[in-house]
Amino acid sequence: MKRSLLALLCALTAFGVHAADAAKASPKGDAARGQPIASSVCGACHGADGNSQLAANPKLAGQHPEYLLKQMKNFKAADGKQPERVNAIMNGMIAAFDDGQMRDIASYFGSQTQKGETAKNRETIELGQKLYRGGDQTKGLPACAACHGPAGAGIPAQYPRIGGQFAEYTEAQLKAFRDGVRANDPNKMMRMVAIKMTDAEIKAVADYIAGLR
């Protein structure tokens, strides 16, 4: 009798803890509070509204806030440990901000409208489209569309928007996943995709994605 009461109490406490964790992870953040930080600090590289002008700096406008928040947390080194996503610039840039501020910034950039890039290479557009829509069954490469959506808009909260992004940035990320330099993808989802791709395929799909809406 005593034991079963204890078990019930334990179960209730565990439930309480889970509920609290979930509440901490999900609140929306305040775009109006995020805007001044986003435009002044982050805007220097990503553009005040998240539409970066330089291919090395990804566009953040219109990205899912959950994905933005996850990346910010991954860039931030937790108690002396190596950050989950390593990039000298971003590891430094994000260090000063706490979870609440990150959530506000994510909410701001997520609410902006992306000004998308265009595909530039006529010769590879067909290959890029084929890989994006259908993958390559002969080598077990899945279609990008399966997770990132037919128009590259992603599927919140797990799968980021990739359509309209700079081809150079997309190419660099795919190579980083392939080489294991970027390893913050849950269940190795992107590393298992990128490892099956040649340089030429990465270039083709990255260019196609730049023009995808």
Binding stretches for ligand HEC (CB under 6 A) = 41-42, 44-46, 56-58, 60, 68, 70-72, 87, 89-90, 93-94, 97, 105, 131, 142, 144, 146-148, 158-160, 162, 170, 172-174, 184-186, 189-190, 193, 205
What are the CA-CA distances from residue 16 to residues 10, 21, 22, 162, 186 (Å)?
Answer: 10, 9, 10, 37, 26
Q: How many CB atoms lie within 10 A of CB 157?
A: 14
Burial (CB count within 10 angstroms: exposed 0-12, middle 13-18, buried 19+), residue 128: buried
Comparing CB distances to ligand HEC, the nearer of 18 and 139 is: 139
Rank residues 127 and 193 by Cβ distance to ligand HEC and give the closer one: 193
Query: Considering beta carbons, is residue 117 or 148 the nearer one to ligand HEC?
Result: 148
Residue 29 beta carbon to ligand HEC: minimum distance, rounded to whole angstroms = 12
CA dihedral 178, 182, 186, 187 (to 10 degrees): 40
Q: Nearest approach, Cβ of 130 to ligand HEC (angstroms)?
A: 11
